[in-house]
Amino acid sequence: MIRDQIRRFGCGTNKVRHGAAMKHCEVNGLDFFIYRMGAEKIKRMIKHKYDISLDIEGKSLDQITREAIAIEYQ
């Protein structure tokens, strides 16, 4: 159950926000821990770890996360 998975996020607004994001990632096959970082932080992480520059202009967070997953888990 989703309630058991999101217990660690605390209470209130964060639990609801992260729970919804977790369910979205589960449905779309995305890595939640990369998705929740956001576009700018994903871009910095990939640049720092792999020295690859991601273009995030005009892309949704889902597309950016898919590109990061492809780079991270190749």
Q: What per-residue confidence (pLDDT) applies to 11? A: 65
Dist CA 18 CA 11 (whole Å): 11
Instruction: Give me the sign of the Cα torsion angle 6, 9, 11, 17.
Output: negative
**Number of domains making up the chain:** 1
Full domain range(s) for residue 50: 2-72
Q: Which amino acid is at 29?
A: G
Q: How many CB atoms lie within 10 A of CB 15?
A: 15
What is the value of pTM for the model shown? 0.80
pLDDT tens digit at each of 74 positions of the chain: 455 555 566 666 677 778 888 899 999 999 999 999 999 999 999 999 999 999 999 999 999 999 999 999 98
